[in-house]
Amino acid sequence: MADLDDPRVLFAAERTLLAWSRTTAGLMAFGFLVDRAGMIVHGSAAARDLGFWIGLAFILLGVLLSLLSVLQYRRVIAGLRPAQIPAGYWVDLSVFTSVALALLGAALAVYLVLA
């Protein structure tokens, strides 16, 4: 970590986590799009073709990466000194966002499997 007693290190880690959140949201959205495109091609929601499985894989990859990015962020935060974290700053807000995104992605995967 940097030798600076400066919150820029914290904010850089947080920006990185939020960038991973955008990436995982994109993966999940793309997975849903692949699944729905397969439904349009086959004209049936009941078809479990290759498009369904590829779409589901993208969604689950997004969920996994969201959770792994939270773990990586927590490791970085644990290595910071108190002087690098502004007083009263809630460092877990981006963690909450990423975990909520992972839970919503998991719910989407369950929905697709059960639908």
Locate the domains of the chain by residue range: 8-114
pLDDT per residue as tens digits for the range 58-90: 999 999 999 999 999 999 999 988 889 888 999
Helices and strands of the chain, counted as H and E runs? 3, 0
How high is the pLDDT of residue 60? 98
Q: Is the pLDDT of residue 48 over 80?
A: no
Q: Is 55 exposed, middle or buried (0-12, 13-18, 19+ CB in 10 A)?
A: buried
Chain position carrying tokens 């692949």: 34
Mean pLDDT over residues 31-52, rounded? 80
Binned at pLDDT 50, 70 and 90, residue 39 comes out as confident
The alpha carbon of residue 16 and the mean position of all alpha carbons in its chain are separated, in whole angstroms, by 12
pTM score, two decimals? 0.86
